[in-house]
Amino acid sequence: MTIHTIKIDPQWFDRVANGTKRVEIHRADRDYQIGDQLHMYEYEMTALASRNTGRAVIVNVTHVLYSVPGLSMDHVALSISNPRVQEPGESATT
């Protein structure tokens, strides 16, 4: 099992955290596997800067799909489940 640390836009954070968004599309620049975890840190991005809001959600990868019709070959669709919200200052191991 590998832990992948990635950014997530605020517009998607709550949907992942409450379990209503269950698929992530990402660049296929990592060896994503079933059983991996995504540690998703909320980032606010503007034209001038980006900042970590301190909120995070940890999810399990339950399915990995490469070569999705209509999706660029350098992207992957990841099914995710079991979201666990990590509050600012909370350790990922708690």
Q: Which tens digit of pLDDT belongs to each residue from 51-87?
A: 999 999 999 999 999 988 888 999 999 999 999 998 7
- What pLDDT was estimated at residue 93? 57
What number is the average pLDDT over the span 7-28? 95
Full domain range(s) for residue 44 = 3-86
Q: Is residue 59 one of the residues assigned to a domain?
A: yes
Token representation of residue 20: 């209503």
Please count the structural domains in the chain. 1
Has residue 94 been placed in a domain?
Answer: no
Per-residue pLDDT tens over the stretch 19-37: 999 999 999 999 999 999 9
Task: Assign residue 59 the CATH number of its domain.
Answer: 2.30.130.30
What is the structure's pLDDT at 22? Answer: 97
- 92 lies in some domain: no
Q: What is the residue whose two structure tokens read 């954070």?
A: 13
Q: Hey, what are 69's tokens?
A: 């019709």
Q: Which residues contact 67 (CB under 8 A, 6 or more apart)?
A: 73
Residue 47 confidence (pLDDT)? 83
Pair of tokens at residue 44: 């606010």
Average pLDDT for residues 6-21, to the nearest whole number?
Answer: 96
Would 93 be classed as within a structural domain?
no
pLDDT of residue 90: 72
38 and 4 in contact (C-beta within 8 Å)? yes
DSSP string, 37-66: EEEEEEEEE-SS-EEEEEEEEEEEEEEEE-
- How do beta strands 37-45 and 3-8 pair? parallel
How far CA 51 is from CA of 56, 58, 75, 91, in Å, comes to 13, 19, 25, 19
pLDDT at 78: 97
Q: Is residue 91 part of a domain?
A: no
